[in-house]
Every structure is written in C-alpha cells, then in structure tokens.
Structure 1
Amino acid sequence: MRLEFRHIEKKLKDRMAFTYTQLKEDIVNTGVCTQCGACAAFCEKIQMTDGIPVLQGNCERCGVCYAQCPRTIITEEGLIGNYIAAYTVKSKFSTIKGQDGGAVTALLSYCMKENLIDAAVVTQKNAEQPWKPSPTFVTKIPEVRRASGTIYCHSLTMPALVSAVEEGFRSIGFVGTPCNIDAVYKMQKSPSRLFNLMIKVSILRFGLFCMDSFTYEGLRTFVEGKGIDLSTVKKMEISGGYLRIHFQDSMTRFRVRELDDYRSSSCYFCTDLTSENSDISFGGVGSPPGYTTVLTRSNIGDEILREAADDGWISLDEMGFDDFTKVLNLARIKKIHMYTIARRKD
C-alpha cells in the first residue's frame, strides 16, 4: 500500500525543521535564490532587502518560506519520483547474499528461474584488478550470485546491454545506478528509434540507490594510501557519512568527505538518489541492517516483487513512516546538493 502523504509531510516537517535557517543555507547562501519574494509574501517575519530575503525577528518554524520557494523540493514525488509502494525486503536464502538484504540478487534469480528474463546485465568485480567494475551479461543463476554486492565506481553497463541484445536475448534484466537507468530509459522512449533493436527487447530496469560514485583509480589510490591491500577487502559500504571497509574478520572506516577529490565529476550534477526511471529501485537507507529498501514503480515491477514473496524467495514488509522519511530526507539532500557545487569543490 502506498504511504499516505499527509503522514510523510508531517514527519518531514518534524524531522527536517524547514525553518528560515534551512532556506538561507540551501538557497540564499548558495546563490540560487530567484528573488521572487514568495517567502516574504507568505511570512511577515521575512523582508526582501536588496533582493535578498532577510529574517526580521524570531523564526516561527512554520516551514512556509521553505515550502513556497521555487528552488526547494519537499513533496515525495519531487524527491523520489513516482512509485507504487515502499517495502523492506530480505532474501530468504542463505546462499543469496548482497550488499544489504540480497533483494536484487534474489529477484534476478527468481526472474531467471521463472523464465521472466533470459539474461541479466550486471557488474562483477574484475578478477585481476580487485574492486574494478567489470560489466557483463549473465544467463545463469550462479553467475547472478557472483555479481552481488556494490562497487562504488562507474560501470560501463550499456555496451554489455547492447552485446546481450546483439546475441539474441530478448528479455533482459538490467541492473544499474540512476545514470545507467536513465540511459536505458531514454533508449526505450526515444522517438527517433536510434536504437532499433530496443523495439524487440523487453527490459526490466533494476535501479540502485546512489549518492556518489568514484573513479576506480581514485578509489584505489585512496584505499591503498591507507595501507590497505584491495585484494583483502571483502565488502565496502557507505552509510552515515562513512566508507566502511570490511575484511574477513574486521572492519575499518573513513569519513566519506575524505574521498571528495576522487568523486566522479558527473556526480556533482546528479540529483537522483533512488533511480526514478527504474521499474524497481533498491537501496540501504531506511531499512535495518541486513535488509533492502525497495520501491516499486511499474505494475510489472510490483507484480514480480509480490510473486517472488509469495513463492518464498524474499520476505516482504511494507515500510513504516519513520523509515520512509529517512529515504525522503536523504533524497532531499541530493536534490539540492547541486546548489552547493562551489563549496563542495573548495
């Protein structure tokens, strides 16, 4: 069931405290204020001074100034796009593991078993260069499982998709970050039919949540600069502002801001956290450890998820208001972070 927006709206207001201070930080100080005067028109505590909204007295914390600004985004559709439902998901098979709850791996495996797809475009770890992404397409469930886990680098998945199509596969599961998903979506919707083979192909888009991505050379330089041999790393994860690096029996962490110099340049301009153009979106934020946050966006995506749960592949629970608000809050940060490019690069 879709979450009622009035509850989410209340939670956002309670948690984010959309005050004048927030408006000043996100909009005024970053130089993106349009000087339209909407904030001042709806709040008597704000006056326009030399074209800039200035607080006069104490802020009443009503949130109206932030909500009315044409540069802010606070609705759930604006933050995460259209969706059908939000779930907390976990694979029910101990042999199926992933970055969080193994939801992507479990669903791809289910789709292959039920012949809903005959190939999947995934990203594996390079066998010779540890943690370097190797995009490919696979046709067997064991191959899907070997591609589980997140690699925080751009992956050239589109050539792998084209290769799968050229080899005759017509029902394909495609796993990618928002930028990859957008590329597939544009190909499918292109009125010019630049990718004619796409007419014959059914593609199920599995989108991954993504806050930032790094160049492989940059990530390797950073990790090895900390005295870590990449070949000993079992898992990497980013949460709570930290990059956590897991080994066989231990873990270390570093502030994500330490990797700013290695961030892919395109990430400064991306505002899509949740892969809005996917059929199903997957991420870690909002769900407890060991579980995956899943947003279904298309009817076929929602149907497949429910059928996988009915067939015992995954556990499926509707996401609660508090947890869903965490997704919206992080999505909001990414939506407006483009305004702070200059400060992030300093």
Structure 2
Amino acid sequence: MTRVRSQPNSQTITGLFKGHRTRVSCDECDICYNVCPGSPELDRELLKEQVIGDMRPRILAARINNQKLHKLTHDGGAATAITQQMLSNGQKVAVTVKDKTYPLKTLHTTLRALDEATSAAGTRYGTTPNVLSLHERPDCFIGLGCHTTAIRRAEAEGLIKPPVLIGLFCMRNINYQNLLKILAQVGVNREDATKIRIEENQVKIRTRDDKDNVTIPLEEVSSLFRDECRFCPDPTAELADISIGSIGTEDKWSTIVIRTKRGADLINKLEENGTITTTDEVDSGAIERLIKLKSQ
C-alpha cells in the first residue's frame, strides 16, 4: 500500500535528525539552516569532494526495455527502470506521484511493491517536501537537485546515511496553486488536466481524453514559476549518485550521468539483467551548455 505523507511542520522536519538537536526550541536550532540547499555558506565544490570524491562522471543514453513501462514515460524511462529494479529486490523507493483526483497535483510517497512502479512513471512539475520521505528509511530516493543537495549536506554534517540518490535534471519548477492559474488562463479544469510538459519554450497541457491538448508560450506564464529556481546553480543534480534527464539524447531515450561507485554498480546491474539498454551516443556538449545557461 502506498502511503502519502502530509505537508511538513517543524516536528516532522526535525524528527529526521532526532538525537542531533542541541537546542530546545526550533528558533535556537541551526540544523535546517545548515542543510538547506539555499544557505549562502554552501561551498558546492567542497561538498562534492566530501560526498562524491574524485570519480570522473560517465555519461550514457539509456532506455527501459519493458515496453509497457516505456509507453508510460516521456523519455527513456531510466528512473522508472531503477524504481522497478529496487522494488523487485524488496527495497523501498521514495518518489513523487500524482494525486488520483487532480493529476497535476504532486505528492511525495514511498513505494514498497513492484506493482506500484507505474505510479511514479512520467515527468511531473510540483513543489513537494520529498526529503520528508527519509522518515520511511527508503533504500533509494528520487528527487531534484535541491533535494539531493539538502540530503548530501545532512550527510556531510553527520546527520544521516543517505540512500541511493537519483537526481533529475531540472531547469524550473512551479507550485500547484500557480499551476491552477495557468489552467484557468487556458480554460482547462483541474480535474481534466493530466500532464504538463515544457518543450521548445512552450507549456503543453494534456487532458484526459487527449482531444483538447493546450499549448501556451512559456514567456506568458514564466512569472508563475518559482523565483528560487532562477538562481539554482544545479540543473543536473551534481551531488546525486546518478543524474537523469533528456538533454543530449535522442527522443525516447534518457540521459544518465553516473557519479559514484554505487551509482555505477546499480547501472551495471540494470544492464546485466536486461532491464535497460545503454549507449554512449550522448551529446555531452548539450549538457555543458545547459549548465552554463543556468549559471548566467
């Protein structure tokens, strides 16, 4: 059974680091500040050296071989393949899923059963407190660069031993209330909208019957996306064990960046058991241009 947690509060957040708080009140505790990915004291290169080491990243293109799952994904389904592998081993995976009533609303949860793998397939936009899923002691965590940075900072502080971290490429994000504003602007009911994609400077909204798909120029709604994302220096989740995106690969393939030994071990296992097909045909320059563009 998939369990979805509620919105965060100070008790659930500090509960992640039970036994490490040195102050009685929340105002006197510095843990949240120290692990926040936006804290100005963050030295990304030093943190990378501490938690990643000097392993040279390996970039591949990957595609899940399960055709049923591949059809549910927009790209190559690499994250779904990892989810499937973990669940088939009896391990737990922290992911983002969609609300059953309002599909564009995102929720964080921890999957435990193999038949739940499809619930996490596909691309979603939404601001969810995924780090709280660490309460469930997952074996694998799939999130964005801001999530993986927070977890790595907690690791560097000696607060947690992180699960396998899968980071998803991300240029921008938007909260659900602002998504509703976009739907209102284009005249789509929230019950009818099933998916949102951003491609070629267009926001594309798919409806339940696929007969009334809507497109709106990104520039018309760009102010609704999170301001914090404009200043994010990490579009490719550089502190994850494995980073996954679609930049630099052909349609229906995923770009994967292997950054650690345990990330390499996981991908090797997926290749050996036939879960994924991989190739070296990746335009790494496209990834470098993405990072440069985001840092401007």
State the TM-score bracket (shorter-chain normalisation): 0.7 to 0.9
Q: Counterparts in 2 of 1:39-78, with a 5 A limit?
A: none
1:137 is matched with which residue: 110, 115, 118? 110
Trace 1:110-121 onto structure 2 (pairs within 5 A): 110-115=85-90, 118-121=91-94
Q: Which runs of 5+ in 1 are unaligned?
A: 1-76, 166-170, 337-346
The SS at the match of 2:147 is: helix
Aligned residue among 234, 254, 276 for 2:194 = 234
Instruction: State the SS of the aligned residue for 2:265.
Output: helix
State the match for 2:141 in structure 1: 174
2:178 — aligned with what? 218
CA-to-aligned-CA distance 1:183-240 (integer Å, 9 cap, x gap): 11111121xx3x3xx24xx500000000000121011111222011233333322222
Which is higher, the Rg of structure 1 or of structure 2? 1
- What RMSD, in angstroms, separates the aligned Cα atoms of the two structures? 2.0
User: What amino acid sits opposite 1:239 in the alignment?
Assistant: E
Is contact 1:86-1:295 (8 Å) kept? yes
Give the AA of the match of 1:188: E
Where does 1:235-254 land on structure 2 (aligned, <5 Å)? 235-247=195-207, 248-250=209-211, 251-254=213-216
- Tell me, in whole angstroms, the C-alpha distance in 2 between the residues paired with 1:244 and 1:82: 38
CA distance in 2, matches of 1:310, 1:252: 41
State TM-score, norm by structure 1.
0.65
Displacement of 1:269: 1.6
Structure 1 residues 83 and 212: alpha-carbon distance in aligned structure 2, compared to 1, 3 A threshold: farther
Correspondence for 2:63? 90
2:267 counterpart residue number:
305
Give the aligned residue type for 2:210.
D
| Aligned partners of 2:104 and 2:195 also within 8 Å | no
Aligned mates of 1:99, 1:113 — CA distance in 2: 22
- Residues in 2 aligned to 1:126 and 1:265: alpha-carbon distance in whole angstroms: 25
Q: Which residue of 2 aligns with 1:294?
A: 256
> TM-score, normalized by length of structure 2?
0.75
Cα distance in 1 between the residues matched to 2:55 and 2:245: 16
Question: Shift of the alpha carbon at 1:155?
Answer: 1.4
How many Å apart are 1:319 and its aligned residue?
Answer: 3.0
2 CA distance for matches of 1:288 and 1:245? 22
One-letter identity of the residue aligned with 2:226: S
Letter in 2 for 1:140: A
State the number of aligned residues: 240
Deviations 1:158-202 (A, max 9, x none): 11222x03xxxxx51101111011111111121xx3x3xx24xx5
**1:274-289 alignment runs, 5 A limit:** 274-289=236-251
Cα shift at 1:255: 1.9
Relative to structure 1, the CA distance from residue 214 to residue 292 in structure 2 (aligned partners, 3 Å threshold; closer, same or farther) is: same
**Structure 1's 332 and 218: CA in aligned 2 closer, same or farther, altered over 3 A?**
same
- Structure 2 unaligned runs (5+)? 1-47, 49-53
**Aligned amino acid, residue 58 of structure 2:** A
Q: Which moved more, 1:251-260 or 1:128-137?
A: 251-260
Q: Work out whether residues 119 and 137 of structure 1, in 8 Å CA contact, stay in contact via their aligned partners in 2.
A: yes
Q: Determine which of 148, 151, 154 is the counterpart of 1:184.
A: 151
Q: Which amino acid in structure 2 is aligned with residue 151 of structure 1?
A: R
Partners of 2:260 and 2:92 lie apart in 1 by: 20
Moved more, 261-270 or 308-317: 261-270
Deviation at 1:249, TM superposition (A): 3.3
Please name the residue that 1:203 is paired with.
163
Counterpart of 2:287 in structure 1: which amino acid?
V
Letter of the 2:96 counterpart: T
CA deviations 1:260-288 (Å, max 9, x no partner) are 22111211221111000000001111112
What is the aligned-residue identity percentage? 22
> How far apart are 1:136 and its partner, in Å?
0.9
Please state how far the C-alpha of 1:83 moved relative to its aligned partner. Answer: 4.7
Q: Secondary structure at the match of 2:174?
A: coil
Runs of 4+ with deviation above 6 angstroms:
none
Aligned position for 1:123: 96
